[in-house]
Amino acid sequence: MSLNTQGIVIREQTLKENDRIISVLTKNQGVIRAYVFGAKKLQSKMSASTQLFAFSDFGFNLRNGFYSVEHAMPKEMFFELRNDIESLALAQYFAQLEEEFAPSSEKCEEFLRLMLNCLHILCKKKRPLSQLKAVFEMRILCLSGYMPDIMMCKNCGKYEDSVMYFNKTETTLCCKDCYDGVGTALEIGVIQAMRHICYSDHEKIFNFTLSDKGLKTLSKITEEYLLLKTKRTFKTLDFYNSIKQ
């Protein structure tokens, strides 16, 4: 059986000398693990189109429960990621999050779109890395059913206070008057940014500005929220945090 779909390589592993196995976040069939035979031979047409972060038109072949790549035509290679270690590390973290969250065997256009948009912006250096990280973390949680309830104070319905308290466990918000001693105090700008990421259309999710301090807080809170929901660690995140400026 053959399957044609667009996808981006989010993991690559060398098997024998010339073969590799790749994980591809596809538009139509979730994350697919597939063999690439002869990928590393110099004359292999598929060498580039099946490497990490290559976005390609793939043709897969399914036999005995295993996929192999029949053909792959590169559409976008994101070469610029390799010029900056911090950007590359962040991209690797995004790839690991996709492996964690993206569904298998079903359409996951939104997951793919988020990945492609973030990589484009990373390459063009159009936004601070901390902003990209926060947007990616929060948005992939929302796509995966972990959208927090942060429209208003959970008790009195107040929409804005200078400071509001985010309870990561309950995923709710509290105003100053109703504060019950649980939750992280966040300035209203950070709350507004979180709302923007959760509730905006996909093409607008990056359209907000915050001070450096605000972005740092935002990135810290989205990371804590993600780690709480996944109950695991991510090597790629630890690496990114160890090298970031």
Chain residues in the site for Zn ion (CB under 5 A): 153, 155-156, 158, 175, 178
Minimum CB–partner distance for residue 152 and Zn ion (Å): 8
Nearer to Zn ion, 33 or 176 (CB): 176
The values of phi and psi at residue 227, to 5°, are -65, -35
CA separation for the pair 9, 52 (Å, rounded): 5
The angle formed by the CA atoms of residues 94, 126 and 81, to the nearest 5 degrees, is 45
Nearer to Zn ion, 179 or 239 (CB): 179
Minimum CB–partner distance for residue 167 and Zn ion (Å): 13
Minimum CB–partner distance for residue 154 and Zn ion (Å): 7
Handedness of CA 13, 15, 16, 20 (dihedral sign): negative
Nearer to Zn ion, 171 or 230 (CB): 171
Neighbours of 145 (CB within 10 A): 8
How far apart, in Å, are the Cα atoms of 178 and each of 149, 152, 156? 16, 12, 7
Minimum CB–partner distance for residue 168 and Zn ion (Å): 18
Nearer to Zn ion, 15 or 156 (CB): 156
Strands 172-174 and 149-153: parallel
Neighbours of 121 (CB within 10 A): 17
Nearer to Zn ion, 147 or 178 (CB): 178
Minimum CB–partner distance for residue 151 and Zn ion (Å): 12
